[in-house]
Amino acid sequence: MGVEHLDYLIEIAENNGLFASYQTTTSQLSKKLSTSQQTVSRNLIEMENQGLIERKVNLNGIELKLTKKSIQLLENLNKRLNSLFNRKSSVLKGIVTSGIGEGRYYVSLPQYQKKFKELLGLLPFAGTLNLKVNLSDLAQFIHNLENIEIPSFSTKERTFGSITCYKVKIKNIDAAIIMPERTRHEKDIIEIIAPFYLRSKLHLKDNSEVLLEK
């Protein structure tokens, strides 16, 4: 699973490429790897026994070379990391649901409507579109999006909680994900505001699939 002796393998690989051999000494390596000469010696023998390296002792020290096995290990690790970092994150898929979100309430209040217009540049339709999304895709999607905060504010009568918004586009319509403060805990249903009643404008029904874009 976890690549054993990874630091050794990378040290060898970075010093002479994946395929050439690396003339060094155990004490040189021990400094680079912050350990003792003896530990390096023992670990290299162990790695050789595991088929991770070829190891030739000579007068000047040791000649080390990665084996196919260890190159493969590094390659697999590289692929796994790549797939973590290269996930498509410019699009988020959502499924239309009719759960009653709290956003619907907020968006109906004139005080917030004004704020939405001011900060997002859109006067929202008095209702939200609820989308069920994959939580981890959501986190990835909004990770690089600008975080537009509508701060909490108070009138004589009551206090209005803050809302976090992210500008998105749905079929080229400017819209926004809104997340009321008190529902900040991660949940897999998000609410979208837009200048139109999206359900009719985009002919959406429950379980329709929608793509949010940045």
Partner DNA sequence: ATTACTAACCGGCGAGTAA
Partner DNA sequence: TTTACTCGCCGGTTAGTAA
CA–CA separation, 137 and 139 (whole Å) = 5
Number of residues that bind a copy of itself (CB under 8 A): 35
Asked if 16 is part of the footprint of DNA (rule: CB under 7 A), the reply reads: no
From the list DNA, a copy of itself, none, partner contacted by residue 20 (C-beta under 5 to 8 A by kind): a copy of itself
Candidates 40-48, 111-119, 137-145, 173-181: pick the segment binding a copy of itself (CB under 8 A): 137-145
CA–CA separation, 133 and 191 (whole Å) = 10
Closest to a copy of itself by CB, 19 vs 159, is 19
Asked if 6 is part of the footprint of a copy of itself (rule: CB under 8 A), the reply reads: yes
Closest to DNA by CB, 35 vs 183, is 35
Report residue 28 as tokens: 């040189």
Asked if 213 is part of the footprint of a copy of itself (rule: CB under 8 A), the reply reads: no
The residue among 9, 7, 2, 18 whose CA lies nearest residue 48 is 9
* Chosen residue from 80, 156, 203, 205 binding a copy of itself by CB under 8 A: 80
* Chosen residue from 9, 62, 73, 96 binding DNA by CB under 7 A: 62
The residue among 148, 142, 149, 150 whose CA lies nearest residue 213 is 142
Q: Are 25 and 90 in contact (CB under 8 A)?
A: no
**H helical segments located in the chain:** 6-16, 26-32, 37-49, 68-85, 103-108, 110-120, 135-143, 198-201
Q: Are 103 and 50 in contact (CB under 8 A)?
A: no
From the list a copy of itself, DNA, none, partner contacted by residue 36 (C-beta under 5 to 8 A by kind): DNA
Contacts with a copy of itself by CB under 8 A lie at 1-3, 6-7, 10, 13-14, 16-21, 32-34, 74-75, 77-78, 80-82, 84-85, 87, 135-140, 143, 186
